[in-house]
């Protein structure tokens, strides 16, 4: 696949049955293009989710479920898996401008909990246990932008675009192993 430069544009993949599964991996090659001029901004790579009402909740307000993968204002990767509170990983690698990077995030469901693992250039962070991850059924999968619209069924309101070359985005229906991630890197040494 040819590489695309995202500098405010985004891709919206409409929801369809089984877009999100209990075990999954999202993977891509990226090359950040924001440089030091836009350090201090948030750059969202992937997001899916929204506020959902729960049946028999006794009038509780809808809660946010889904996930967001971004580069924070300090230029470090951050992963949020809602309804888990806070960032999943306390230590993540620095994202360097103009450096080609392979990114993968896996979620694997176990009895009563989900395990989240981050891979950056084949280096593994985690797994971290986050309780039980709730799939964002009904929500579109967004590449290169965040969404400020709280309902997953309404048109999106984009914010926090990533400014980067992004290539070979894949959403797998399984949690890839470290060996599989490293093999993808070895097979594609010249991406982005």
- pLDDT, the chain, mean: 90
pLDDT of residue 36: 62
- Alpha carbons within 13 angstroms on the beta-carbon side of residue 97 total 9
Whole-angstrom distance, CA of residue 8 vs CA of residue 155: 17
pLDDT in tens, 33-75: 987 655 678 999 999 998 887 666 666 777 889 999 999 998 9
Q: Which CATH number fits domain 4-187: 2.60.120.200, 1.10.490.10, 3.40.50.880, 3.90.180.10?
A: 2.60.120.200
pLDDT in tens, 72-120: 998 999 999 988 889 999 999 999 888 999 999 999 999 989 999 999 9
**b (16+ CB within 10 A) / e for 145-172:** bbbeeeebeeebebebbbbbbbbbbebe
Q: What angle do CA 25, 150, 69 make, to 5 degrees?
A: 30
Confidence grade of residue 20 (pLDDT, cut at 50, 70, 90)? very high
Domain boundaries, the chain: 4-187
**DSSP conformational letter for 23:** S
pLDDT in tens, 145-166: 999 998 888 999 999 999 999 9
pLDDT of residue 52: 82
**DSSP conformational letter for 41:** S
Q: Are 24 and 173 in contact (CB under 8 A)?
A: yes
pLDDT of residue 34: 85
- Written as one string, the DSSP assignment of 48-100 is EEEEEPPTT-TTPPPEEEEEEEEE-TTSBEEEEEETS-S-S-S--PBPPTT--
């Amino acid at each position: 696949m040819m590489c695309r430069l995202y500098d405010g544009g985004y891709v919206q993949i409409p929801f369809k049955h089984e877009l999100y599964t209990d075990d999954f991996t999202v993977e891509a090659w990226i090359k950040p293009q924001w440089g030091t001029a836009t350090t201090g901004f948030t750059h969202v790579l992937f997001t899916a989710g929204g506020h959902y009402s729960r049946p028999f909740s006794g009038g509780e307000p809808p809660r946010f479920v889904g996930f967001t993968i971004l580069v924070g204002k300090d230029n470090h990767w951050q992963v949020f898996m809602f309804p888990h509170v806070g960032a999943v990983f306390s230590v993540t690698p620095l994202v360097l401008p103009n450096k080609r990077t392979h990114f993968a995030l896996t979620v694997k469901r176990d009895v009563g909990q989900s395990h989240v693992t981050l891979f950056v250039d084949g280096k593994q962070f985690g797994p971290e246990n986050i309780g039980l991850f709730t799939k964002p059924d009904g929500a579109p999968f967004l590449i290169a932008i965040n969404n400020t619209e709280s309902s997953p069924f309404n048109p999106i309101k984009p914010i926090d675009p990533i400014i980067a070359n992004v290539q070979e985005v894949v959403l797998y229906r399984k949690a890839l192993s470290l060996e599989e991630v490293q093999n993808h890197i070895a097979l594609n040494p010249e991406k982005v």
